[in-house]
C-alpha cells in the first residue's frame, strides 16, 4: 500500500473508527476531510438486504435530487428529425440519429445519458453490447425512452439520476459535490434514501437498509446511522 500523504493522515485522524455518524455529522465532517484541489464528488453507498440475483428483489429507480449532482451532464438524444428541435431547445448536447449510431459503433461514448424515442429503439437496441456495460442503454423504466424528449432532457440536466443495486446488494451513486453546503448534501441524501425505501421489494427479508456510507472522491468512507436519515 502506498504511503499516506499528510492530508490523508489528517483526514483519517478525524474519523472515529467503528462509529456510525448521524447524517448531519457525516455531511459536515466530509467537507472537513476532503483535501482535493478539485471539487470532489460526494458519493453514497447503501448496502441492502436483498438478493439481486432474484428478479423480485431487484432495486432500480430514478430520483431527482433537490440540489442536483453538481456535475455537468452531457446528454445525447437519438431521435427522428421532427423531435430534434425539441431536444435542442431543452439543452441536449448532441442530437441526431444515424450519424451518432455509427459513431457509437466505432466506440464513441463520450456522454453521460442517452435519451431516445420508442420509434428508433430498433436502431439503438443494436448498440446494447457497447452501451449496456457503460450504463448508457436507454430504458423506459428510467424515463430515457420517451416521446417527451424535451422534458426528459430538462429533468436529467436538473439532477435526475437513475440507480440500481449491484450484484453484491449495494446501490452506489453520486449525490453532489464537496462544494455543496452540508444542508444541501443532507437534503440530497434524504431524497435518495426516501426513494430507496419506496422501492423496497416485498420479497426482501430481514433488515432492508443494512448500512449507509458517505464519502468523497479521495476521502475515507463515513458510516451513517440509518436511523438518523429520517425519511418523510
C-alpha gyration radius of the chain? 19
Pairing, β 209-216 against β 222-224: antiparallel
Could you report the per-residue pLDDT of 163-195, keeping only the tens digit for each?
989 999 999 999 999 999 999 999 999 999 999
Mean pLDDT of 113-120: 95
pLDDT band at 1 (very low <50, low <70, confident <90, very high): very low
Could you report the per-residue pLDDT of 133-167, keeping only the tens digit for each?
998 999 998 889 999 999 999 999 888 888 989 99
Task: For residues 67 and 171, give the distance between their C-alpha atoms in angstroms, rounded to a whole number.
Answer: 20
pLDDT band at 229 (very low <50, low <70, confident <90, very high): confident
Mean pLDDT of 95-108: 95
Exposure of 115 by Cβ count < 10 A (0-12 exposed, 13-18 middle, 19+ buried)?
A: buried
> Per-domain residue ranges for the chain?
18-69+160-228, 75-157
Asked if residue 25 has pLDDT above 80, the reply is: yes
Q: At how many degrees (to 10) do helices 23-32 and 182-198 cross? A: 130
Could you report the per-residue pLDDT of 121-141, keeping only the tens digit for each?
999 999 999 999 998 999 998
**Domain 75-157 CATH (choose: 3.40.50.790, 3.40.50.620, 3.90.550.10, 3.90.45.10):** 3.40.50.790
Residue 67 and residue 159 in contact, taking contact as beta carbons nearer than 8 Å: yes
Residue 144: name the closest of 175, 172, 112 by CA: 112
Q: 18-69+160-228: what fold? A: Ribulose 1,5 Bisphosphate Carboxylase/Oxygenase (3.30.190)
What percent of the chain has pLDDT above 90?
A: 67
Amino acid at each position: 500500500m502506498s504511503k499516506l500523504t499528510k492530508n490523508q493522515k489528517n483526514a483519517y485522524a478525524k474519523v472515529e473508527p467503528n462509529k456510525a455518524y448521524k447524517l448531519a455529522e457525516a455531511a459536515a465532517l466530509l467537507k472537513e476531510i476532503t483535501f482535493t484541489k478539485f471539487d470532489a464528488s460526494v458519493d453514497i453507498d447503501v448496502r441492502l438486504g436483498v438478493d439481486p440475483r432474484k428478479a423480485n428483489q431487484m432495486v432500480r429507480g430514478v430520483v431527482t435530487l433537490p440540489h442536483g449532482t453538481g456535475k455537468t451532464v452531457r446528454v445525447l438524444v437519438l431521435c427522428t428529425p421532427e423531435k430534434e428541435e425539441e431536444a435542442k431547445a431543452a439543452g441536449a448536447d448532441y442530437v441526431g440519429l444515424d450519424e451518432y449510431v455509427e459513431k457509437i459503433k466505432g466506440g464513441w461514448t463520450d456522454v453521460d445519458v442517452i435519451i431516445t424515442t420508442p420509434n428508433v429503439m430498433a436502431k439503438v437496441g443494436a448498440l446494447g453490447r457497447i452501451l449496456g456495460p457503460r450504463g448508457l442503454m436507454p430504458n423506459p423504466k428510467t424515463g430515457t425512452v420517451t416521446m417527451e424528449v424535451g422534458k426528459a432532457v430538462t429533468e436529467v440536466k436538473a439532477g435526475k439520476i437513475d440507480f440500481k443495486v449491484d450484484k453484491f446488494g449495494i446501490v452506489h451513486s453520486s449525490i453532489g459535490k464537496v462544494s455543496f453546503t452540508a444542508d444541501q448534501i443532507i437534503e440530497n441524501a434524504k431524497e435518495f434514501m426516501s426513494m430507496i425505501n419506496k422501492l423496497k421489494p416485498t420479497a426482501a427479508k430481514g433488515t432492508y437498509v443494512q448500512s449507509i456510507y458517505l464519502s468523497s472522491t479521495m476521502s475515507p468512507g463515513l458510516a451513517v446511522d440509518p436511523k438518523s436519515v429520517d425519511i418523510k
